[in-house]
């Protein structure tokens, strides 16, 4: 919801003042709007646009060279008054006439139309252009009943580029009308927006549903459907627009617009699917844009706009512009790089190994396979424990990491690697595939452990015990966690210490390991009574008291699996 | 919540692929990240940044000339692996060494640190820079325990500008560390974010509360307070940061960052108050930025970052750059305009009027005063009716418009205006101050009506009746509504027709008007049974059946008030 304001009724004018304070390089504040802050040649056609507030970057964010000369801003979701439109136009007029662009809504049609009449009476040539791109709002037979949504960006960009190129008002009007006739949009909403000061949203969409054919003033859409996957959504959006494809077109400009709370990365995900659909329809996409261009406060949803290009429109769409909403063209002269990107990986071949060390390597690979099986079984449980105080992905990370480590260990074995190389390769793969902190910790632990081995000799009991200490050192040196921080270190320290003590007291490795694994399990369970380390947010910390740490639990589990493996190897 | 995805576990990689498809001019895709797509001089220091996904434009959006050379992207909110960091660095290295920038989180410190060690082993000089700007995460005495939030933009911009200027790795590192030491941030959260595929948000903030000291991975903050006004919030944010003001500084760079669902216009509103606080503290703000730079999926909230500038840092902060997150410098050569902006209003002086016409003008002003009183009383009721199918601002608009019309009419009377000018001035003021569609309609109606009058003669009964027809013509010509559309036209048409009929049948004006007002009231009530005109969204249309149209009701009310006025004038 809209949360930041002082007096709700001052929201729009204060927002405009703040815009000006930030974007003074682009725009100057006048009563009811903004005008370009840079010199404009005498006689240039002025492109003046506008509408209600609540749609930023529409409309003030469109002001700048190559786009709009001025923008008029009404109250939130309300048309600016006739007087405000006329006033802003008087500031913007350079003697070349004015093209007035706005969305096709009753209030805007009225106010911009009346302002145009007034200005004509004052001797300023003004043409009006109501943008009407939303295919959901009226059938194709009555295009002038269609609303304007994110097609605004497309149509205003064409008009702005034509005016910047010094074309006459007749020409600018012709090109803008052509762009308007050839621009189609369709959108969906996942949730409504809340006006400043309002207690609730203007509309709601039932959980799990999406509303088709949204408007940008809280109009919720014309029908509802179950929320689609990105792939299905791309088919829906492109399908509605391709149904109106202009015969003979092979190129389109495309704008994937977020309404406010649907974020960039979601739009990027969707764009990969939209691009696929357009390519399959035989269309070449020219300079696609993906982001927030016409929003509706904090509304959730998105829309796709397409402009069926011809040569003339393509050149205007590609032309440079420099406004907060869109910047095209180069600031710092930069040539495209031409060399191919070749994936530069670290070493993949292994140094020659002795037969004894290769045997140990095989043994290590088998053990990692056993660990991977156990972690796969434990994935859900580890995720559940992690979700109490974290984001619940620990089980998934451990499963992915150990499986990748097993594959890498097998590949190393197959390539004839010795004990040190097999374990190092497993560690690197674990870290690379598991990701996150625990992936790095496990990768580091295995790689550090491998430093106790060599590719010339068999992995001796002494080397294994020394490796455990190296792993602990590596983890505490780079991981920064201390005992008591409620991390895997809480289980790793007693494990390593017990292993060393029991081995020093003469116990065989499998027995010493078994006792160490038990110590790790006890310590992991005891993390229930600990609070997480500093830096964690307080409420999460409180939630996690009484629950063991997922990292410590998974370490203890792994130690137990290894203990069983060693016992079998003894037998 | 995060809504658009196919498989949640592919979200981050698919988003990166989509980013590349849109921003190929800036970046090329490599495994685990992106690198600059433009030629980079041999020997230039490579600035490589990264972290988890879910923070766009951080980090891929930072890649471009004058900012970062490459970005590494982990899974959502998870550190990229050591191998991924190392791999992306190998692509970015131009022989000048690498500055590795990332937020100060355990997983990132570990993976970027390990990658740096690996790369040094391969002969690449790498320096690590964990950004630690969040003052809420640790006390000033332990700056290296602080988290990195939106200070990323500030620190990476300085590093990128230094590298672009051809400085050595030692120098780039020194400047980046200096920027990091001098950058402080503080933020608040109004609501949590939802991971792709998750059923609910990572945390919630109780309604009406805000959490102080947010993190950008779902960490909800260190304490909670009642949501502040924009002015109070600005004091809170600047207060926390000014407490750590570096002695002797008089200039700051500032970044007001939105977390995802807190929108631009809210940030602009807040910025006006932040700017005031900083000015009062005697600080000059250099090139402030206000927008989304480091987000946390769809989280609601914002943060303020300040960099205490010295001369060296100021030059780097101001330097041009060209990345999706930030573009500084000119694309189209444009000189600042220098002429003063003088508010150009329409005519304010009135042509000379006859005494008889001035009398009529006074009478009109008094009538408008009566109407303004009645509409003020009816504001709440009209708002209530409008809220059923609209945004509930009709009462407010009518109150504002009529009050402004009364003031303008009085001013015109005082300036000696005649009947035509008084009514025209009232209409213009009504439209300008009420805004929206109904403001324009009323302004248009009054102005059209005034065309039946002159400034030479008294407003005769015949002129008044002719004016009513002109008002109706004006409204239907430009307002496009037809009878039956459930608008004010439904009441205006029977009003005008009854007025004309009754006057034609010889009734005196006050009686004819009274009957016309009754017809208007009946028609307004009858709009309950109508569905709103096409173009409205279906669910709203359904809601409004059974309810009268607010515009028709307010017209009928006004007609009745005027009827009473005329009756009194007769008496």
* Cβ contact, residue pair B18, A270, below 8 Å: yes
Per CB-CB distance under 8 Å, the chain B contacts of A38 are 334-337
**Least CA distance to B256: which residue of chain A?**
A22
| B191 DSSP β-pair partners | B300
What integer pLDDT is reported at residue A386 of this predicted model? Answer: 84
Helix (H, G, I), strand (E, B) or coil at A163: helix
* Cβ contact, residue pair B5, A341, below 8 Å: no
β-pairing, B70-76 with B46-53? parallel
* Cβ contact, residue pair B215, A331, below 8 Å: no
Helix (H, G, I), strand (E, B) or coil at A292: coil
CB-nearest partner of A21 from B272, B479, B535: B272
Per CB-CB distance under 8 Å, the chain B contacts of A39 are 334-338
Q: What architecture (CATH level 2) is domain A355-570? A: Alpha Horseshoe (1.25)
Per CB-CB distance under 8 Å, the chain B contacts of A107 are 436-437, 440
CB B134 within 8 A of CB B148: yes
Q: What architecture (CATH level 2) is domain A8-195+206-328? A: 3-Layer(aba) Sandwich (3.40)
**Least CA distance to B439: which residue of chain A?**
A81
Q: In 3D, which of B442, B471, B450 has the Cα closest to residue B364?
A: B450
Going by the DSSP 8-state scheme, the letter that residue B145 receives in this structure is: G
Q: Is B433 on the interface with A (CB under 8 A)?
A: yes
Superfamily of domain B8-196+203-328: Dihydroxyacetone kinase; domain 1 (3.40.50.10440)
Which residues have C-beta within 8 Å of that of residue B315, sequence separation ≥ 6? B161
Q: In 3D, which of B107, B102, B97 has the Cα closest to residue B130?
A: B102
Most B CBs within 10 A among A399, A440, A444, hence the mutation to make, goes to: A440
Q: Is A167 on the interface with B (CB under 8 A)?
A: no
What integer pLDDT is reported at residue A342 of this predicted model? Answer: 64
C-alpha distances (whole Å) from B144 to each of B3, B103, B106, B138, B177 are 36, 11, 12, 8, 12
* Cβ contact, residue pair B262, A229, below 8 Å: no
β-pairing, B300-308 with B251-258? antiparallel
**CA–CA gap between residue B138 and residue B151 (Å, rounded):** 15
CB B14 within 8 A of CB A268: yes
What integer pLDDT is reported at residue B328 of this predicted model? Answer: 92
Distance from CA of B534 to the nearest CA of A (A): 8
What integer pLDDT is reported at residue A536 of this predicted model? Answer: 38
- Mean per-residue pLDDT for B521-533? 84
pLDDT digits (tens, 9 = 90+) for B245-257: 999 999 999 999 9
C-alpha distances (whole Å) from A20 to each of B43, B222, B269, B322 are 40, 34, 11, 22
Q: What ipTM was estimated for this complex?
A: 0.85
| B48 DSSP β-pair partners | B70, B100
**Least CA distance to A478: which residue of chain B?**
B110
* Cβ contact, residue pair A330, B331, below 8 Å: yes
What integer pLDDT is reported at residue A539 of this predicted model? Answer: 42
* Cβ contact, residue pair B110, A264, below 8 Å: no
| B129 DSSP β-pair partners | B101
* Cβ contact, residue pair A479, B106, below 8 Å: yes
- Mean per-residue pLDDT for B438-466? 93
CB-nearest partner of A272 from B14, B75, B478: B14
Q: Is A387 on the interface with B (CB under 8 A)?
A: no
| Residue tagged active-site, from A55, A217, A394, A547 | A217
Q: Is B224 on the interface with A (CB under 8 A)?
A: no
Residue with tokens 């992690």: A386
C-alpha distances (whole Å) from B559 to each of A540, B449, B510 are 63, 14, 11
Taking the domains of chain A in order of start, what are their residue ranges? 8-195+206-328, 355-570
Residue with tokens 């849109």: B22
The question of whether A217 is a catalytic residue gets the answer yes
| Residue tagged active-site, from B55, B217, B394, B547 | B217
Distance from CA of B210 to the nearest CA of A (A): 10
When the pLDDT of each residue in chain B is averaged and rounded to a whole number, the result is 91
* Cβ contact, residue pair B288, A263, below 8 Å: no
pLDDT digits (tens, 9 = 90+) for B328-354: 988 777 787 777 666 655 446 788 899
Taking chain B, what is the end-to-end CA distance rounded to the nearest angstrom?
Answer: 66
**Least CA distance to A319: which residue of chain B?**
B332
- Note which residues in 447-506 of chain A have CB less than 8 A from chain B: 478-481
Q: Is A57 on the interface with B (CB under 8 A)?
A: yes
* Cβ contact, residue pair B437, A106, below 8 Å: yes
* Cβ contact, residue pair A440, B81, below 8 Å: yes
Q: Is A161 on the interface with B (CB under 8 A)?
A: no
- Report CA Rg, chain B: 32
- Note which residues in 315-374 of chain B have CB less than 8 A from chain A: 320-322, 327-332, 334-338, 341, 343-346
3-state DSSP percent of chain A in helix, strand and coil, to 5? 50, 15, 35
- Mean per-residue pLDDT for B170-176? 98
**CA–CA gap between residue B7 and residue A567 (Å, rounded):** 41
Residue that wins the pLDDT comparison between A9 and B515: B515
Strand runs labelled E in B109-208: 126-131, 183-191
**CA–CA gap between residue B239 and residue B249 (Å, rounded):** 16
Q: In 3D, which of A114, A33, A104, A103 has the Cα closest to residue A69?
A: A33
pLDDT tens, chain A, 571 aa long = 888 988 888 999 999 999 999 999 889 999 999 999 988 999 999 999 999 999 999 999 999 999 999 999 999 998 999 889 999 999 999 999 999 999 998 889 989 999 998 899 899 999 999 999 999 988 999 988 899 999 999 999 999 999 999 999 999 999 999 999 999 999 999 998 888 988 888 888 888 899 998 788 877 677 888 988 999 999 999 999 999 999 999 999 999 999 999 999 999 999 999 999 999 999 999 999 999 999 999 999 999 999 999 999 999 999 999 999 999 988 777 787 777 666 655 446 788 899 999 999 999 999 999 999 999 999 999 988 887 766 678 898 899 999 999 999 999 999 999 999 999 999 989 988 887 788 889 999 999 999 999 999 999 999 999 999 999 999 988 777 788 888 899 999 999 999 999 999 999 999 999 999 999 999 999 988 887 654 433 344 455 667 888 899 999 999 999 999 999 988 7
For residue B244, pLDDT over 50 is answered with yes
**CA–CA gap between residue B216 and residue B431 (Å, rounded):** 45
CB A194 within 8 A of CB A2: yes
Distance from CA of A105 to the nearest CA of B (A): 9
For residue B65, pLDDT over 50 is answered with yes
For residue B565, pLDDT over 70 is answered with yes
Q: In 3D, which of A30, A260, A4 has the Cα closest to residue B271?
A: A4
* Cβ contact, residue pair B267, A4, below 8 Å: yes
* Cβ contact, residue pair A346, B264, below 8 Å: no
């Amino acid at each position: 919801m809209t949360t930041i304001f002082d007096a709700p009724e001052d929201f729009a004018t204060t927002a405009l003042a703040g815009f000006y304070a930030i974007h003074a390089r682009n725009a100057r504040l006048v009563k009811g709007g903004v005008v370009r802050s840079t010199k404009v040649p005498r006689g240039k056609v002025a492109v003046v646009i506008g509408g209600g507030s609540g749609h930023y970057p529409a409309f003030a964010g469109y002001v700048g060279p190559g786009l709009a000369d001025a923008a008029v801003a009404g109250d939130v979701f309300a048309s600016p008054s006739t007087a405000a439109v006329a006033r802003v136009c008087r500031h913007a007029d350079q003697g070349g006439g004015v093209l007035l662009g706005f969305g096709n809504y009753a209030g805007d049609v009225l106010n911009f139309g009346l302002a145009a009449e007034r200005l004509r009476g004052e001797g300023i040539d003004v043409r009006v252009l109501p943008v009407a791109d939303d295919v959901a709002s009226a059938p194709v037979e009555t295009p002038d009943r269609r609303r304007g949504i994110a097609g605004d960006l497309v149509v205003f960009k064409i008009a702005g580029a034509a005016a910047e190129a010094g074309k006459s008002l007749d020409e600018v009007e012709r090109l803008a009308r052509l762009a308007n006739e050839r621009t189609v949009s369709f959108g969906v909403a996942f949730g409504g927006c809340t006006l400043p000061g309002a207690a609730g949203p203007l509309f709601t969409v039932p959980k799990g549903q999406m509303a088709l054919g949204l408007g940008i003033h809280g109009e919720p859409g014309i029908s509802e459907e179950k929320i689609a996957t990105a792939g299905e959504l791309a088919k829906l959006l492109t399908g509605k627009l391709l149904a109106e494809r202009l015969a003979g077109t092979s190129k389109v400009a495309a704008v994937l617009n977020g309404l406010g709370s649907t974020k960039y990365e979601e739009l990027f995900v969707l764009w990969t699917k939209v691009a696929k659909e357009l390519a399959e329809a035989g269309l070449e996409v020219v300079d696609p844009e993906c982001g927030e261009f016409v929003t509706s406060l904090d509304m959730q949803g998105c829309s796709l706009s397409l402009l069926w290009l011809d040569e003339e429109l393509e050149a205007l769409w590609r032309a440079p512009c420099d406004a907060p909403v869109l910047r095209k063209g180069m600031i710092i002269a930069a040539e495209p790089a031409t060399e191919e990107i070749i994936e530069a990986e670290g070493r993949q071949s292994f140094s020659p190994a002795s037969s004894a060390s290769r045997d140990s390597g095989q043994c290590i690979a088998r053990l990692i396979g056993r660990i991977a099986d156990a972690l796969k079984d434990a994935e859900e449980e580890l995720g559940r424990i992690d979700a109490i105080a974290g984001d619940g992905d620990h089980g998934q990370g451990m499963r992915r990491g150990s499986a990748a480590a097993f594959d890498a260990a097998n590949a190393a074995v197959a390539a004839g690697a010795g004990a040190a190389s097999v374990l190092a390769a497993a560690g690197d793969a674990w870290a690379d595939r598991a990701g996150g902190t625990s992936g790095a910790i496990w990768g580091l632990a295995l790689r550090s452990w491998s430093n106790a081995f060599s590719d010339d000799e068999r992995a001796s009991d002494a080397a294994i015990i020394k490796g455990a200490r190296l792993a602990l050192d590596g983890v505490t040196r780079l991981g920064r966690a201390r005992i008591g921080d409620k991390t895997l270190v809480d289980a790793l320290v007693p494990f390593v210490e017990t292993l060393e003590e029991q081995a020093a007291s003469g116990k065989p490795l499998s027995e010493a390991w078994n006792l160490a694994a038990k110590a790790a399990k006890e310590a992991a369970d005891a993390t229930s009574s600990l609070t997480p380390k500093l830096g964690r947010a307080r409420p999460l910390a409180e939630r996690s008291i009484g629950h063991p740490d997922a990292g410590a639990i998974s370490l203890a589990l792994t130690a137990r699996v290894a203990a069983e493996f060693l016992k079998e190897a003894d037998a």
